[in-house]
Amino acid sequence: MNTQEFIAMLADSPRPPSRSAVASRLGMGLAVSLTAALSLLVILPGDGTSLITRVAMPVFWAKLALPLTMTLAATCVTSRLSQPGVRVGRAWAALILPVGVAWLAALIVLALAVPEARGALILGHTWRVCSLKIMLLSLPALGALLWAMRGLAPTRPRLAGAATGLLAGALGTLAYSLRCPEMHVPFWATWYLLGMAAPALVGGLLGPRAMRW
């Protein structure tokens, strides 16, 4: 190989995606994911309580804050993992913080409750279907976000797949929290997080194959 051929090879080799490319591709994936989750939410049966009634409750906004902050943090982590040589760094803390806050609040509520009421605070009325519905709402998001990540340059596909799955789960949870009738902190600190964890596991398993480049 002469010098000119070597230069041509380097010029044609894959390059790390630019920040604008990452923002554009992930932004498109997020838009498609949220639209799909909200569209699926329409066909899920409700409990008869209107959204207007729920938004009047302060705890509704605390409940909404969990998937919202998880979505923002998971977006940051996923974005960093989509680029070779970029460290995740403090973004991991942003991902862990809302989980820790939710669990701490749940423990406080359970500690203050009478023992007989603790089971009901955790299980609520919909524990059998909550995480399953979140997983259902997350499936289109998982597909769209894995497609978005495949067009970038993740060098740690299993970890990137898990982060992508967590982001999909957070989006599914964000949509579901608009319909969910449960308001007790121990409930959504348990079942919402479980609903997010399942797509993260699936994403981690699919990552090496879905993000091959």
Q: Is residue 4 part of a domain?
A: no
pLDDT band at residue 16 using 50, 70 and 90 as cut-offs: low
**Residue 134 in domain:** yes
Q: Is the pLDDT of residue 21 over 80?
A: no
Residue 61 located in a structural domain? yes
pTM, whole model, 2 decimals?
A: 0.87
Residue type present at position 114: V
Question: Among residues 82, 93, 42, 87, which one has the least CA distance to residue 207?
Answer: 82
Q: Using 50, 70 and 90 to split pLDDT, how confident is the model at 1?
A: very low
Residue that has been written with the tokens 């340059």 in this structure = 153
Q: Say if 15 falls within a structural domain.
A: no
Mean pLDDT value of segment 171-193: 93
The structural domain count of the chain equals: 1
pLDDT number for residue 56: 76
| Residue 181, domain member (yes or no) | yes
Predicted confidence (pLDDT) per residue in 137-173, tens digit: 999 999 999 999 988 878 899 999 999 999 999 999 9
Model pLDDT, residue 154: 87
Query: Amino acid letter at 29?
Result: G
Domain encompassing residue 43: 20-210
DSSP state of 47: -
Token output for 16: 């790390």
Banded pLDDT at 48 (limits 50, 70, 90):
low
Alpha-carbon gap, residue 82 to 130, rounded angstroms: 30
Segment 127-136 shows an average pLDDT of: 94
Give the separation between CA 151 and CA 94, rounded to whole angstroms: 25
